[in-house]
Amino acid sequence: MKLKSIKVVAPATIANVGPGYDIMGFAINTPVEEMILRLTGKPGIKILRITGDKNELPTDINKNTATVALIHMISKLDNKLGVELEIRKKIISGSGLGSSAASAVAAPFALNELLGKPFTKHELLEFALLGEKIASGSIHADNVAPCLFGGFILIRGYNPTDIVQLSSPKKLFCTVLHPQFEIKTSEARRLIKKKFPLKDVITQTGNAAGLVAGLLKSDYNLIKRSMHDLIAEPARATLIPGYYEIKESAMNACSIGCSISGSGPAIFAFSTSQEDADKIGRAMKQASSKYVKRNNVYVSSINTVGPKVIG
C-alpha cells in the first residue's frame, strides 16, 4: 500500500491573557509545532520519532497528547486505521506556550485533512481537549482552542465546550520572552489560591470584560487599562526570577500590557507596531539576562489561521 502522508504545523499559544485566567487565549505565529502523519496498511497508532524534546516526551501512545487525541478520533471512525507520526518539537515543553496543546491539535488536524475533513473543527476540539488532558490532568481549552481556531478565543464554559471567537486589532503585536527553564503546570496551579475577596473578584471580572471590549473595539487604551491580573500573576511571579523588573522594562518600552503566558516562564507583552514589539523584546531580554543566562525572544502579529498544511 502506498503511504499517504501530510506535514502540518500548529502555532504556539498564550493562555490566560492577564485577567482571563483559564478563560482566554490567543495564537501567535512563532514558534510552531511541526508534525508528519502517515496512513499505513497496518492497523494501530505508532510514534516513529520525537525530536527537539531532549528525550523527555513519552512515545507510549496512551501517554502522549498527540496520540491520545488520535485514539479518541479514530474510535469514531474505522478502528482498523493505521497511523504513524513524526513529531518535531519546536515549542519547548514547560515553556508556557502551549506545547502539549499544539501536539494535541496538530495530530487530529493532520488526520482530518488526510481523510477529507470528515470532522468539523468543533469536533476536532473535543479530541484535542482529551489529548491535552493527559498533560494537564483536566480539561482546559485556553491553549487548545486558539491553537486550533487561531486568533483570540474566549472559553465561556464546558459541558458542552462553549467557545467564542473574538476579533482583535489588526495592528496588535505580541512580544514573548522565554527564559530557558521549565515550570510545570501542576506546580504553578498549586500556587493559586482557592478563595478571593469579593472586591478582587469584581475587579478581575471588570478587567476581563474590559479586555474583551478593548479587543472588539480596537481600543488600545482600554486594553492597557484592563491588563491587570489579581489571581494568577501575583502567585506565579515568584516562579520567574526578576519578573516584575522584566514587566516594568516592557511597559517602559511602549508595551500596552504585559503578563505571564499560561503557567510561565514565558512572559508576553502587547504593542501596536512591529518597531515597538522589537524594542520591547530587547528591553525584556536585557532585564531577564540579569537572572537567567539564556532567553529566547519571539515577535509576532496575532495568528488568525491556526494549524496549516505545509507539505
Question: Mind telling me the catalytic residues?
Answer: 132, 185
Q: Which three cell numbers stand for residue 272?
A: 501596536
Reduced to 3 states (helix: H, G, I; strand: E, B; else coil), residue 113 is helix
Compute the 3-state secondary structure of the chain and give helix, strand, coil in percent, each to the nearest 5.
35, 25, 35
Task: Residue count of the chain, please give it.
Answer: 311
DSSP state of 302: B
CA distances (Å), origin 192, targets 57, 241, 288: 26, 18, 24
Q: Which three cell numbers stand for residue 40?
A: 499505513
- Direct distance between the N- and C-terminal alpha carbons of the chain, in angstroms, rounded to an integer: 20
Can you list the alpha helix ranges (DSSP code H) found in the chain? Answer: 65-74, 99-114, 121-136, 144-149, 185-190, 198-217, 220-226, 232-236, 243-252, 274-288
Distance of CA 187 to the CA centre of its chain: 18
Distance between CA atoms of residues 268 and 297, nearest Å: 10
Using CA atoms of 253, 231, 14, 245 in order, give the dihedral in degrees to the nearest 10.
Answer: 30
Contacts of 266 (CB under 8 A, 6+ apart): 14, 95, 96, 97, 176, 177, 178, 179, 260
Q: Which three cell numbers stand for residue 254?
A: 511602549
